[in-house]
Each structure stands twice: as C-alpha cells, then as structure tokens.
Structure 1
Amino acid sequence: MNEPKWLEWAQQLQAIAQTGLTYVKDVYDRERYEELRKLSCEIVQSYTSEPMARIETLFAQDDGYATPKVDVRAAVFRDGKILMSREKEDGRWTVPGGWADIGLSPSEAAVLEVKQETGYDVKPLRVIAVLDNRKQPQPPHPNHIYRLFWLCELVGGAAEQDTLETQGVGFFSLDELPELSTGRITESQVRLMFAHFENPERPVDFD
C-alpha cells in the first residue's frame, strides 16, 4: 500500500527543512527553511483532522539530518497465542512495542517495551521482519517509519493490566484477534508473526 502523494510531498519538504536547518548559516536561508517546514505542516493539516499544534510537534520535534524513525515490535507467544496489550490512547489492541530509545539496541528496546506495556519478561530470539511503514496497509503517518519485528521467548514476569500507556493484557489466537490499533499493527503483520512462529526456518521478511 502506497502512501498518498500529499503525505509523501509533506514528508520530503519536512526532511529538506530539517536537514537545511541543521546546517544553515545564513539567517535568510534559515527563514526560508522555517517557511518550508510550516508549508509541510499546512499540507498535512489540509488533508487530515489533526490540529496544527500536534502536527507541528510531530514534524518539529526532531533535529539533525532527517532520517526515518524506528519502531520496534515484539512477537511473544504462549500456548500458540500471541501477547497483546490494549492502548489507552484509542482503546484498541497491539503487540507490545514503540519508538526505539536512544542508548538501547533494537533488541533491548523490544524487551523494555514488553516489560513496560505488559509486565512480562522476554528474551529476543531473532529478527523476523523489517518493514517500511509506507508500504504497509496502515493509516498515513507524518513520519517515515521503519518497523522492526522481533520474535521473543517468554521467560518470566506477570501480566500488568494497567500501565502508563496500556490497559489490558492478553494472549490471542489468530482466529480471535481483538480490534487492532492499526496505526501500530495490522492483521497482515500479526499473521506474519504467526507464520514465523510456526516456521522457524522462514527467512526474514523485509520492505
């Protein structure tokens, strides 16, 4: 699934503006890059219902050379069922995960996300997929995102039903999936996780 052209244009304008603001020396050029960033936000607002303040936060929170953001997700199974948590933000379900934190390796980030969102302790086994958000059947997002999926082994801990970001934890079979938070995970991605769990020899899926 390809992202709409308006979002692609807005992302490209934002990337040019962010990179330009990182290296610019001339005050007039700085003003031009600021205008470019503002234009990218206006494009997104004109096609969505998001308030400008939120768009500006999403687009202006990063500095330095513009690169894709990294999201890590953990596939954790017990008795053939996958671990999921319910997001407080939208009341829907996803596999544990989120933005990779500075100072942590991708696998360490996955372990931390599982602990924070579910209370369980896991051990990463292998990477099973590296996916480009623009090519997935997910709602448009202001950021260009790479999603890293890890197959993890459940090794301890206990379910925490109420955390900072989630409320509800459970294990689900493929034929009883709850309503998904599709901005974070899609049914096709969950099916991909089951496929890797059931076939340890399956090669890493990418793009």
Structure 2
Amino acid sequence: MHTMEATLKWLDWAKQIQGIAQTGLAYTKDVYDKERYEQLRALSLEIMGQYTDVESSKLLDLFAGEYGYATPKVDIRGVVIQDDRILLVREKEEGEWSLPGGWADLLLSPSEIAVKEVREESGYEVKTLRLLAVLDNHKHNPPAPYHAYKLFIHCEITGGKAQEGVETSGVAFFGKNELPRLSQSRNTEEQIKLMFDLLKNPQRIPVFD
C-alpha cells in the first residue's frame, strides 16, 4: 500500500476507534466497559499522535471533553469579497492565511458565528447573505485528527475597519490568482477559488458533499 494511503487508513481507523469509545462512554452503565472504552480512547490518541503533527496535549483537549454520540465538528468560515478580492486573515499560530472563522460555539447560530468570527479576527462588521458551501474536511483538507463539516457563508461588510485580533496577525484582501500561503487545515486554494466561482453566479445552489 502507498505510504500516504497507509497513513490515511490508520488515521481513519483511529478516528473510528475514538468515535466508538466516545459513544460507548456516553451510554455504558458498566464500570468495566467504561474502563475498556477509556483504553480505546487512549489507544486512538496514541495512533493519532503517530500520524499527525498535533501535540498529544492538544489531541487530549480535542477529544477528552467530547461527550455523547460521536459526530463531526462544525467549522464556520466567513467569505467576504470586495472588488474581486477576498478577505483573509493571517493566523498567529503558524503565520499562514485563512478565511476568518472557527469552531461553532454553543447557543449561537451559523450566521451569528460567521459575524462574530469575522469581527473578532479582521475588525470588520458584516451581515450574512447566503450559504455558499458545506464541505467535508475528510474529502478536501489534509489529514486531521478530527472529522469536521466546513460551512462557508457569504458575508457583506457593513462597518468597522481592518484590525488584527487575538488569534490573527494580519488582515488583507487578495485576488483569485495572488493568494498567499494558506493554512491548509482551515482552507485550501481549491476551496478559496470555489468561493470566487460561486459568488460570480448568485443563482447557483450551495455546493455540498
């Protein structure tokens, strides 16, 4: 088996083990089963640590606090385009660029998350216009320890000004063919260019996996 294919297969297995462990911990009443599910979770984290660049402490944060039936996480990105240029922010964590956004918060709707993330990461106030795409990170982004659905929401600037946030160190607009180095786990070049194409055709229905 090709090295990359083998790596992805092991990562898929680790995610499945994690999902089984999380769901089992949510529903088991047996103390011995609980211990076994905890062992499965620890095993899945060990496997993920071997095949990803995520530190073990961060892997633990990602999964140790997850309860209930195992489901994909939700990542929401605000898409703002002005004069054929798209708004991107530079992530402090790795110095690469992405659409403003992040994990969905409890008690907030997808639109509210998009508005919040754009404001906090870029300084701009926006209103949401329409859903552009729902993509599966397992199909489009580099291997990651978590499974996530990525929602891309078209937003329009209503106020504010470019301003760095707690997690960002740059705010700028870029043309379709002049994109900077992107944070691949957050958004790929193909995804960014898809946003340009979708916004050129307002009648096109949202793209989804």
Would the aligned equivalents of 1:59 and 1:142 in 2 still touch at CA under 8 Å? Answer: no
Matched, 1:158 2:161: yes
1:52 shift after superposition: 2.4
- 1:147 corresponds, among 138, 145, 150, to 150
Quote the Cα distance in structure 1 between the aligned partners of 2:16 and 2:86.
36
Quote the Cα distance in structure 1 between the aligned partners of 2:143 and 2:149.
14
Q: Greater shift after overlay, 57-66 or 181-190? A: 57-66
Report Cα offsets for 1:161-198 as digits up to 9, x if no partner.
x3110011001101111110111010000011101111
The alignment partner of 2:60 has SS state of helix
Quote the Cα distance in structure 2 between the aligned partners of 1:90 and 1:24.
40
Give the TM-score taking structure 1 as reference length.
0.95
The alignment partner of 2:191 has SS state of helix
The residue identity in structure 2 corresponding to 1:148 is: L
Matched, 1:70 2:74: yes
Matched, 1:206 2:205: no
The alignment partner of 2:204 has SS state of coil
Q: Unpaired segments of 5 or more residues in structure 2?
A: none
Q: Unpaired segments of 5 or more residues in structure 1?
A: none
The residue identity in structure 1 corresponding to 2:143 is: P
Percent identity, aligned pairs only, is: 57
Quote the Cα distance in structure 1 between the aligned partners of 2:80 and 2:144.
26
Match of 2:169 in 1: 167
Match of 1:110 in 2: 114
Report Cα offsets for 1:98-138 as digits up to 9, x if no partner.
001101100110010000000101111100100011110x2
The residue identity in structure 2 corresponding to 1:155 is: T
Give the TM-score taking structure 2 as reference length.
0.94
1:43 shift after superposition: 1.1
Match of 2:195 in 1: 193
Would the aligned equivalents of 1:84 and 1:170 in 2 still touch at CA under 8 Å? Answer: yes
Quote the Cα distance in structure 1 between the aligned partners of 2:102 and 2:50.
27
Report Cα offsets for 1:67-89 as digits up to 9, x if no partner.
11000011101111100100000
Quote the Cα distance in structure 1 between the aligned partners of 2:24 and 2:190.
37
Quote the Cα distance in structure 1 between the aligned partners of 2:9 and 2:60.
20
Please provide the CA RMSD for this pair.
1.5
Trace 1:1-207 onto structure 2 (pairs within 5 A).
4-136=8-140, 138-160=141-163, 162-207=164-209
1:46 shift after superposition: 2.2
1:49 shift after superposition: 4.2
Would the aligned equivalents of 2:21 and 2:38 in 1 still touch at CA under 8 Å? Answer: yes
